[in-house]
Amino acid sequence: MNPEYRKPINIERLKRFVFLAEQEDINLSHAAKELHIPQPYLTRQIQQLEEELGVELFVRNPRLELTSYGKVFLKQAQHLLGQVEQFQHLSQQAKQGEIGRLSIGINTSISNSLLPDILRVFRQKFPQVDLVLQELLCKESRQRLQNRTLDVDFENLYNLQDVDKHHVLTYEVISKEPLVMVLPQQHSLANNPQVQLADFANEPFILPCRETVPALHQLTRMACIEAGFHPNVVQEATWMPTVLGLVASEMGVALLPANVMNLQRTGVVYREIIGKVPMFQMAIAWRRDNHSKILFNFLNVVREISPGVY
Protein backbone atom coordinates (compact mmCIF):
# COMPACT_ATOMS: atom_id res chain seq x y z
CA MET A 1 0.00 0.00 0.00
CA ASN A 2 1.31 3.40 -0.92
CA PRO A 3 1.97 5.20 2.41
CA GLU A 4 1.71 8.63 0.79
CA TYR A 5 -0.65 11.05 2.52
CA ARG A 6 -4.17 11.38 1.15
CA LYS A 7 -6.43 14.33 1.87
CA PRO A 8 -9.67 13.58 3.77
CA ILE A 9 -12.64 12.97 1.51
CA ASN A 10 -14.75 16.08 1.02
CA ILE A 11 -18.20 15.44 2.49
CA GLU A 12 -19.98 17.70 0.00
CA ARG A 13 -18.43 15.80 -2.91
CA LEU A 14 -19.48 12.57 -1.26
CA LYS A 15 -23.07 13.81 -0.94
CA ARG A 16 -23.15 14.79 -4.63
CA PHE A 17 -21.74 11.41 -5.65
CA VAL A 18 -24.43 9.59 -3.65
CA PHE A 19 -27.17 11.85 -5.05
CA LEU A 20 -26.00 11.12 -8.58
CA ALA A 21 -25.43 7.40 -8.05
CA GLU A 22 -28.84 6.81 -6.40
CA GLN A 23 -30.76 7.96 -9.48
CA GLU A 24 -32.56 5.23 -11.38
CA ASP A 25 -31.20 6.62 -14.63
CA ILE A 26 -27.85 8.21 -13.79
CA ASN A 27 -27.81 11.56 -15.54
CA LEU A 28 -25.26 14.32 -14.85
CA SER A 29 -27.41 17.05 -16.37
CA HIS A 30 -30.50 16.13 -14.38
CA ALA A 31 -28.52 15.73 -11.15
CA ALA A 32 -26.81 19.09 -11.58
CA LYS A 33 -30.17 20.76 -12.13
CA GLU A 34 -31.59 19.16 -8.98
CA LEU A 35 -28.52 20.22 -7.00
CA HIS A 36 -28.70 23.77 -8.41
CA ILE A 37 -25.10 23.68 -9.66
CA PRO A 38 -23.62 23.83 -13.20
CA GLN A 39 -23.10 20.45 -14.86
CA PRO A 40 -19.35 21.07 -15.50
CA TYR A 41 -18.91 21.78 -11.79
CA LEU A 42 -20.63 18.50 -10.83
CA THR A 43 -18.50 16.61 -13.38
CA ARG A 44 -15.35 18.11 -11.89
CA GLN A 45 -16.51 17.22 -8.35
CA ILE A 46 -16.91 13.56 -9.31
CA GLN A 47 -13.52 13.57 -11.05
CA GLN A 48 -11.86 15.07 -7.95
CA LEU A 49 -13.48 12.39 -5.79
CA GLU A 50 -12.15 9.68 -8.10
CA GLU A 51 -8.70 11.28 -7.95
CA GLU A 52 -8.85 11.28 -4.14
CA LEU A 53 -9.82 7.61 -4.11
CA GLY A 54 -7.49 6.56 -6.93
CA VAL A 55 -10.24 4.56 -8.73
CA GLU A 56 -13.01 5.14 -11.25
CA LEU A 57 -16.53 5.34 -9.89
CA PHE A 58 -18.41 5.79 -13.18
CA VAL A 59 -17.95 4.61 -16.76
CA ARG A 60 -19.87 5.46 -19.95
CA ASN A 61 -21.09 2.19 -21.45
CA PRO A 62 -22.58 3.94 -23.47
CA ARG A 63 -24.52 5.69 -20.73
CA LEU A 64 -23.18 6.66 -17.30
CA GLU A 65 -22.99 3.63 -14.97
CA LEU A 66 -21.33 2.77 -11.70
CA THR A 67 -18.22 0.63 -11.86
CA SER A 68 -18.03 -2.47 -9.68
CA TYR A 69 -15.96 -0.46 -7.18
CA GLY A 70 -18.43 2.41 -7.49
CA LYS A 71 -21.26 0.10 -6.38
CA VAL A 72 -19.31 -1.03 -3.33
CA PHE A 73 -18.24 2.54 -2.56
CA LEU A 74 -21.86 3.76 -2.83
CA LYS A 75 -22.96 1.49 0.04
CA GLN A 76 -20.07 2.67 2.20
CA ALA A 77 -20.72 6.31 1.31
CA GLN A 78 -24.41 5.97 2.21
CA HIS A 79 -23.45 4.47 5.56
CA LEU A 80 -20.87 7.19 6.22
CA LEU A 81 -23.28 10.01 5.34
CA GLY A 82 -25.87 8.42 7.63
CA GLN A 83 -23.31 8.55 10.46
CA VAL A 84 -22.42 12.15 9.62
CA GLU A 85 -26.10 13.08 9.76
CA GLN A 86 -26.43 11.31 13.10
CA PHE A 87 -23.38 13.12 14.48
CA GLN A 88 -24.77 16.45 13.28
CA HIS A 89 -28.09 15.66 14.96
CA LEU A 90 -26.34 14.71 18.21
CA SER A 91 -24.26 17.87 18.02
CA GLN A 92 -27.39 19.97 17.62
CA GLN A 93 -29.03 18.18 20.54
CA ALA A 94 -25.97 18.82 22.70
CA LYS A 95 -25.98 22.49 21.67
CA GLN A 96 -29.62 22.76 22.74
CA GLY A 97 -28.97 20.95 26.03
CA GLU A 98 -31.10 17.97 24.99
CA ILE A 99 -28.46 15.32 25.69
CA GLY A 100 -25.77 15.06 28.32
CA ARG A 101 -25.51 14.82 32.09
CA LEU A 102 -26.49 17.04 35.03
CA SER A 103 -25.32 16.41 38.59
CA ILE A 104 -27.83 17.66 41.19
CA GLY A 105 -27.47 17.99 44.94
CA ILE A 106 -30.68 17.33 46.87
CA ASN A 107 -31.87 17.22 50.46
CA THR A 108 -34.94 16.07 52.37
CA SER A 109 -36.81 19.37 52.09
CA ILE A 110 -36.68 19.60 48.30
CA SER A 111 -37.49 15.89 48.05
CA ASN A 112 -40.59 16.42 50.20
CA SER A 113 -41.78 19.38 48.16
CA LEU A 114 -40.88 20.48 44.61
CA LEU A 115 -38.43 17.82 43.47
CA PRO A 116 -40.93 15.20 42.19
CA ASP A 117 -42.64 17.74 39.91
CA ILE A 118 -39.32 19.24 38.77
CA LEU A 119 -37.91 15.84 37.80
CA ARG A 120 -41.13 14.71 36.12
CA VAL A 121 -41.40 17.82 33.92
CA PHE A 122 -37.69 17.92 33.08
CA ARG A 123 -37.63 14.25 32.08
CA GLN A 124 -40.67 14.78 29.88
CA LYS A 125 -38.99 17.69 28.08
CA PHE A 126 -35.44 16.30 27.98
CA PRO A 127 -35.65 12.50 28.20
CA GLN A 128 -32.08 11.98 26.94
CA VAL A 129 -30.41 14.03 29.69
CA ASP A 130 -28.96 11.85 32.43
CA LEU A 131 -29.82 13.32 35.84
CA VAL A 132 -27.47 12.24 38.63
CA LEU A 133 -29.01 12.95 42.04
CA GLN A 134 -26.79 13.15 45.12
CA GLU A 135 -28.08 13.44 48.69
CA LEU A 136 -25.66 15.87 50.28
CA LEU A 137 -25.29 17.96 53.39
CA CYS A 138 -24.75 21.71 53.09
CA LYS A 139 -20.97 21.84 53.53
CA GLU A 140 -20.30 18.99 51.12
CA SER A 141 -22.61 20.36 48.44
CA ARG A 142 -20.92 23.79 48.57
CA GLN A 143 -17.52 22.16 48.16
CA ARG A 144 -18.68 20.08 45.21
CA LEU A 145 -20.20 23.10 43.50
CA GLN A 146 -16.96 24.99 43.93
CA ASN A 147 -14.75 22.17 42.62
CA ARG A 148 -17.16 21.47 39.71
CA THR A 149 -18.12 17.93 40.70
CA LEU A 150 -21.70 19.16 41.17
CA ASP A 151 -23.61 21.28 38.65
CA VAL A 152 -26.50 22.54 40.73
CA ASP A 153 -27.69 22.22 44.32
CA PHE A 154 -30.88 22.77 46.27
CA GLU A 155 -30.02 24.68 49.44
CA ASN A 156 -31.79 25.60 52.68
CA LEU A 157 -31.22 29.31 53.31
CA TYR A 158 -31.07 31.37 56.44
CA ASN A 159 -28.64 34.13 55.53
CA LEU A 160 -29.23 34.84 51.84
CA GLN A 161 -25.73 36.25 51.40
CA ASP A 162 -24.11 33.08 52.71
CA VAL A 163 -24.45 31.22 49.42
CA ASP A 164 -22.45 33.83 47.52
CA LYS A 165 -19.90 34.93 50.11
CA HIS A 166 -16.97 33.61 48.03
CA HIS A 167 -18.32 35.22 44.83
CA VAL A 168 -18.21 31.86 43.07
CA LEU A 169 -21.84 30.78 43.32
CA THR A 170 -25.16 32.37 42.57
CA TYR A 171 -28.66 31.38 43.63
CA GLU A 172 -32.37 31.92 43.23
CA VAL A 173 -34.97 31.41 45.94
CA ILE A 174 -37.53 28.86 44.74
CA SER A 175 -39.85 28.40 47.72
CA LYS A 176 -40.82 29.91 51.05
CA GLU A 177 -42.88 28.16 53.70
CA PRO A 178 -43.60 28.49 57.42
CA LEU A 179 -42.33 26.20 60.14
CA VAL A 180 -44.79 23.83 61.79
CA MET A 181 -44.75 22.27 65.24
CA VAL A 182 -44.13 18.54 65.35
CA LEU A 183 -45.57 16.89 68.47
CA PRO A 184 -45.75 13.38 69.86
CA GLN A 185 -49.21 11.96 69.20
CA GLN A 186 -49.87 11.71 72.95
CA HIS A 187 -48.82 15.30 73.72
CA SER A 188 -51.30 17.34 75.75
CA LEU A 189 -51.63 19.89 72.91
CA ALA A 190 -51.80 17.35 70.11
CA ASN A 191 -55.56 17.71 69.74
CA ASN A 192 -55.36 21.48 69.20
CA PRO A 193 -55.62 22.40 65.49
CA GLN A 194 -53.24 25.33 66.10
CA VAL A 195 -50.66 26.03 68.79
CA GLN A 196 -48.63 28.97 70.05
CA LEU A 197 -44.88 28.58 70.08
CA ALA A 198 -44.63 30.24 73.49
CA ASP A 199 -46.58 27.31 74.97
CA PHE A 200 -43.49 25.12 74.42
CA ALA A 201 -41.01 27.32 76.31
CA ASN A 202 -40.39 24.59 78.90
CA GLU A 203 -40.50 21.64 76.51
CA PRO A 204 -37.47 19.61 75.40
CA PHE A 205 -36.61 20.28 71.73
CA ILE A 206 -35.15 18.14 68.98
CA LEU A 207 -33.19 20.50 66.71
CA PRO A 208 -31.68 20.05 63.25
CA CYS A 209 -27.93 19.61 63.66
CA ARG A 210 -25.97 22.88 63.78
CA GLU A 211 -23.04 21.47 61.79
CA THR A 212 -24.89 19.64 59.04
CA VAL A 213 -28.13 21.63 58.69
CA PRO A 214 -27.04 25.13 59.79
CA ALA A 215 -29.80 27.15 58.10
CA LEU A 216 -32.66 25.18 59.65
CA HIS A 217 -30.89 25.07 63.01
CA GLN A 218 -30.54 28.85 63.05
CA LEU A 219 -34.10 29.37 61.88
CA THR A 220 -35.49 27.12 64.63
CA ARG A 221 -33.54 28.92 67.34
CA MET A 222 -34.60 32.32 65.98
CA ALA A 223 -38.25 31.29 65.98
CA CYS A 224 -38.04 30.30 69.63
CA ILE A 225 -36.16 33.45 70.62
CA GLU A 226 -38.75 35.63 68.88
CA ALA A 227 -41.41 33.73 70.87
CA GLY A 228 -39.65 34.75 74.09
CA PHE A 229 -37.48 31.76 75.06
CA HIS A 230 -34.36 29.80 74.24
CA PRO A 231 -35.13 26.21 73.29
CA ASN A 232 -34.14 23.45 75.71
CA VAL A 233 -32.23 21.30 73.22
CA VAL A 234 -31.98 17.66 74.29
CA GLN A 235 -30.89 16.21 70.96
CA GLU A 236 -29.77 17.26 67.48
CA ALA A 237 -30.33 15.22 64.31
CA THR A 238 -29.40 15.61 60.66
CA TRP A 239 -32.27 14.04 58.72
CA MET A 240 -35.97 14.85 59.02
CA PRO A 241 -37.00 11.16 59.41
CA THR A 242 -34.61 10.93 62.36
CA VAL A 243 -36.13 14.03 63.96
CA LEU A 244 -39.61 12.56 63.47
CA GLY A 245 -38.53 9.27 65.03
CA LEU A 246 -37.19 11.06 68.10
CA VAL A 247 -40.41 13.07 68.43
CA ALA A 248 -42.47 9.87 68.08
CA SER A 249 -40.45 8.39 70.95
CA GLU A 250 -41.66 11.36 73.07
CA MET A 251 -38.10 12.59 73.51
CA GLY A 252 -39.14 16.13 72.64
CA VAL A 253 -40.91 18.43 70.16
CA ALA A 254 -39.53 19.94 66.96
CA LEU A 255 -39.94 22.80 64.52
CA LEU A 256 -39.66 21.79 60.88
CA PRO A 257 -40.60 23.26 57.48
CA ALA A 258 -44.21 22.67 56.42
CA ASN A 259 -43.07 20.25 53.68
CA VAL A 260 -42.44 17.71 56.46
CA MET A 261 -46.19 17.08 56.47
CA ASN A 262 -45.68 15.08 53.27
CA LEU A 263 -43.91 12.49 55.43
CA GLN A 264 -46.32 10.09 57.09
CA ARG A 265 -44.91 9.01 60.45
CA THR A 266 -46.83 7.05 63.06
CA GLY A 267 -46.68 8.65 66.47
CA VAL A 268 -46.39 12.32 65.46
CA VAL A 269 -48.80 15.13 64.57
CA TYR A 270 -48.17 18.41 62.75
CA ARG A 271 -49.71 21.63 63.98
CA GLU A 272 -49.85 25.13 62.51
CA ILE A 273 -48.27 27.82 64.67
CA ILE A 274 -50.30 30.91 65.52
CA GLY A 275 -48.56 34.26 65.12
CA LYS A 276 -45.35 35.33 63.43
CA VAL A 277 -43.11 32.46 62.41
CA PRO A 278 -39.87 32.82 60.42
CA MET A 279 -40.14 31.55 56.86
CA PHE A 280 -38.07 28.62 55.68
CA GLN A 281 -36.45 29.39 52.32
CA MET A 282 -35.25 26.95 49.70
CA ALA A 283 -32.90 28.08 46.91
CA ILE A 284 -31.18 26.59 43.91
CA ALA A 285 -27.46 27.37 43.62
CA TRP A 286 -24.89 26.97 40.84
CA ARG A 287 -21.51 28.33 39.75
CA ARG A 288 -21.59 31.77 38.16
CA ASP A 289 -19.29 30.59 35.36
CA ASN A 290 -21.36 27.51 34.47
CA HIS A 291 -22.97 28.35 31.12
CA SER A 292 -24.20 24.83 30.36
CA LYS A 293 -27.33 24.72 28.20
CA ILE A 294 -28.51 21.70 30.19
CA LEU A 295 -28.25 23.74 33.40
CA PHE A 296 -30.11 26.60 31.70
CA ASN A 297 -32.93 24.22 30.73
CA PHE A 298 -33.06 22.77 34.24
CA LEU A 299 -33.28 26.21 35.84
CA ASN A 300 -36.15 27.12 33.52
CA VAL A 301 -38.05 24.01 34.58
CA VAL A 302 -37.48 24.88 38.24
CA ARG A 303 -38.83 28.38 37.56
CA GLU A 304 -41.82 26.89 35.78
CA ILE A 305 -42.64 24.72 38.79
CA SER A 306 -42.09 27.62 41.21
CA PRO A 307 -43.62 30.59 39.39
CA GLY A 308 -44.80 32.47 42.48
CA VAL A 309 -41.29 33.10 43.84
CA TYR A 310 -39.97 35.00 40.85
Write out pLDDT tens, residues 149-178.
Answer: 999 999 887 654 555 556 788 889 999 999
Confidence band of 81 (pLDDT split at 50, 70, 90): confident
The average confidence (pLDDT) of the chain is 87
Reported as type and span, the H/E element at residue 221 is helix 214-226
Domain spans of the chain, in order of start: 11-95, 101-310
pLDDT of res. 251? 96
Cβ–Cβ < 8 Å for 174, 302: yes
Give mean pLDDT, residues 268-275: 94
C-alpha to C-alpha distances, 199 to 177, 178, 194, nearest whole angstrom: 22, 18, 11
In our burial notation (b when 16+ CB lie closer than 10 A, e otherwise), range 267-300 reads ebbebebeeebbebbbbbbbbeeeebebbebbbe
- 309 vs 158, more confident: 158
Q: From start to end of 136-231, where are the E strands?
A: 152-157, 169-184, 194-196, 204-208
Give one word for 229, left, alpha or beta, with left for phi > 0 and alpha for psi -120 to 50. beta
> How far apart (Å, rounded) are the C-alpha atoms in residues 244 and 282?
20
pLDDT of res. 1? 39
pLDDT of res. 198? 94
Cβ–Cβ < 8 Å for 241, 265: yes
pLDDT of res. 4? 52
pLDDT of res. 27? 80
- 101-310 belongs to CATH 3.40.190.290: yes
Query: Of 256, 266, 261, whose CA–CA distance to 213 is shortest?
Result: 256
- 11-95 belongs to CATH 3.50.50.60: no
pLDDT digits (tens, 9 = 90+) for 173-203: 999 999 999 999 999 999 999 999 999 999 9
> How far apart (Å, rounded) are the C-alpha atoms in residues 137 and 128?
28
> How far apart (Å, rounded) are the C-alpha atoms in residues 5 and 55?
16
CA 131 to chain centroid: 6
